[in-house]
Amino acid sequence: MRGMHVDLNLLTALDVLLAERSVGAAADRMHLSQPAMSRTLARLRRVTGDPILVRSGRSMLPTPYAEQIRDELRTLVEQAHAILTPPTDFDAATVQRTFTVQCNDVLANAMAADLLTRIRRDAPGVRIRILGESGGTSDELREGRIDARLTADEPDEPDLRARVVATDHLALIRSDTGTPATLAEFAAIDHVVVSRRGRLRDPIDDILEKHQLSRRVVLSVPTIDVALRAVAAGDLATVAPASFARRAAHPGLSVHPLPFPLPLIRAVLSWHARVDTDPAHHWLREMIATSATASIG
């Protein structure tokens, strides 16, 4: 329109005026006063250099220019409003999208099969890519390299959102049926420690040291599944989430309560605020939460 900036409200007003052919009716539809609508029509006439609507008796008729642009204007306004209005309806069955979720091996082993079953049932066009923990930063969420992250920790960055989707407790897993009743009996067992970085101690050693005790760690492995296989092969023990250990199905393993209290471990789902209102991402979060509850507890 002659190179001048025209805002969406002005285009919407023009669309309504052409539909109603009445300043009063257009004002009512846009919840404006009649003088305000008249000023808008005057502005449109200045911008376009065309009268837009011309009085004929008790009614107003569109000019040839107005008739010419009416259909194109209607399409443009509908498209603009569609872009600026987040979709409220969502049909998972029609979604074609790949989501990337980052989590540790415990959570992946516990819930990957259940999550996939639910997604294949409800959204056959959705694919899931599960990545292991990388030690990366929150920039992976900010830049969209991953869509969600499952960890034991809640993020403290203000632009990240999080919810606890499941909780579990740690238990002692060993290859015999003996249950250590005291810290000393627990410390006397040869242990396998799980550490992605190959560390030979963890916070449990700090607890033992407070009681002037220490344990013998004979093996450090990167995943709990490897730890359970090692424990099953010899007279060893490891500490692992109880729900995972019970589902691992390694023959000869037994699950025992720890002889000291530990806080619950949490599965925390994190995502970036920019996808907070995205219907597809909201659906994904609900799928993960439901699967985590069913698989972990």
Is the Cβ–Cβ distance between 260 and 181 less than 8 Å? no
Separation CA 187–CA 216 (nearest Å) = 7
pLDDT of residue 249: 58
Phi, psi angles (nearest 5°) of residue 240: -150, 160
pLDDT of residue 114: 92
Q: Order of strands across the sheet with 148-151?
A: 126-131, 97-103, 148-151, 265-272, 160-168
Can you read off the two tokens belonging to residue 243?
A: 């729900």
3-state secondary structure of 219: strand
Neighbours of 111 (CB within 10 A): 26
**Which neighbouring-strand residues pair with 216?**
190
The per-residue pLDDT string of the chain (297 residues; one tens digit each, 9 = 90 and over) reads: 443 445 778 889 999 999 889 999 999 988 899 999 999 999 999 989 999 999 988 889 999 999 999 889 988 888 887 777 666 677 899 999 999 999 988 888 888 999 999 999 999 999 999 998 776 667 888 888 899 999 888 888 888 999 999 999 999 998 876 778 889 999 999 999 998 889 999 999 999 999 999 999 999 998 888 898 899 888 899 998 888 777 765 777 888 899 998 888 899 999 998 888 888 999 999 999 999 988 886
Judging by beta carbons within 10 Å of its beta carbon (0-12, 13-18, 19+), is residue 166 exposed, middle or buried?
buried
Q: Are strands 190-194 and 170-174 parallel, antiparallel or unpaired?
A: unpaired
pLDDT of residue 98: 94
Give first-to-last CA distance, the chain, whole Å. Answer: 61
Q: Residues, the chain, total?
A: 297
Is the Cβ–Cβ distance between 84 and 8 less than 8 Å? yes
pLDDT of residue 56: 87
Using alpha carbons, select from 71, 50, 65, 30 the residue that is nearest to residue 22: 30
Using alpha carbons, select from 82, 108, 262 the residue that is nearest to residue 172: 262
Question: Rounded to whole angstroms, what are the CA distances from 125 to 92, 93, 251?
Answer: 8, 7, 38
DSSP letters, 2-56, are TT----HHHHHHHHHHHHH--HHHHHHHTT--HHHHHHHHHHHHHHHSS-SEEEE
Residue with structure tokens 């296989």?
229
Separation CA 217–CA 238 (nearest Å) = 9
Is the Cβ–Cβ distance between 241 and 106 less than 8 Å? yes
- CA dihedral 150→135→248→186, nearest 10 degrees, is -110
pLDDT of residue 88: 63
Is the Cβ–Cβ distance between 130 and 176 less than 8 Å? no
Is the Cβ–Cβ distance between 167 and 264 less than 8 Å? yes
Separation CA 179–CA 184 (nearest Å) = 12
User: Whole-structure pTM over 0.85, yes or no?
Assistant: no
